[in-house]
Amino acid sequence: MVLTVEKITTLKKLIIPILLLLGLPFSFAFKQDFTQPVQLNWETYFKGKADERSPFFALTAMTWEYSYSSTVYRNRVVIKLKNEVRIDKNRSWVKWDKIKDPEIRASLLHHEQGHVNIQYILLSEAERVLKNRNYSVSNYKAQIAELANQISDYFDTMQRNYDEETEHGSNHKMQARWDQIIEDKMEESRTATLALQK
């Protein structure tokens, strides 16, 4: 089972400078590596053609995918989870003519990194939540799908709030506030994941 977050259909289309799209072969993934999120740079991750109709200066296209295998042992469901986030460099773009100033370029990349960091938190939380539940043998597939949708919705809302409150990175005071929120949530997620591994 693969959940692709693509916000046009039933999972609510998000029109923000980050789109969560189906991963393609030319994408970078961070798979179950909960130590650090991928660090963006313009040259590697923004190879796509800019959407000139978009009011935004950059777009980071990412997708969260999960799949699992399951076994039932003594009336208990155990799942082996595959969980990853991909950054699609061929669908991620930047309007180079709008970010000629090095300060603006650095500020925008910093904002886009915040989107990646939020997806890193999603990856870690999905791993922790989906693997550490007691599922019903009779309908565990529906329970896993429901949990995955709840996780997806929560982080979609977080991404949207991040963009709205920071005004897509142009409100530096709110960007600094969100930087701290994201850092706190990453640390909280790391701590919770490590606690389960003991």
Phi, psi of 18 (to 5 degrees): -130, 125
| Residue of 42 and 21 predicted with greater confidence | 42
Q: Please give the single-letter amino acid code of residue 192.
A: A
Q: What pLDDT digit, counting tens, does each position of 72-111 carry?
A: 988 999 999 999 999 999 999 999 999 999 999 999 999 9
Query: 3-state class of 66 per DSSP?
Result: strand
Q: Across-strand partners of 58?
A: 94
Q: What pLDDT digit, counting tens, does each position of 120-168 carry?
A: 999 999 999 999 899 999 999 999 999 999 999 999 999 999 999 999 9
Q: What pLDDT digit, counting tens, does each position of 18-38 carry?
A: 333 333 333 444 444 556 899
Q: Which residue has the tokens 């009779």?
A: 138
Q: H-helix or E-strand containing 155?
A: helix 140-166
- Taking residue 5's Cβ as centre, other Cβ atoms within 10 Å add up to 26
Confidence class for position 192, pLDDT limits 50, 70, 90: confident
> Considering all CA atoms of the chain, what is the largest pairwise distance in Å, rounded to the nearest integer?
62
- Taking residue 16's Cβ as centre, other Cβ atoms within 10 Å add up to 18
Distance CA 141, CA 162 (A): 31
Per-residue CA distances from 6 to 22, 40, 88, 122, 146 (Å): 7, 21, 13, 15, 17
CB 122 within 8 A of CB 162: no
Q: Are strands 58-73 and 18-20 parallel, antiparallel or unpaired?
A: parallel
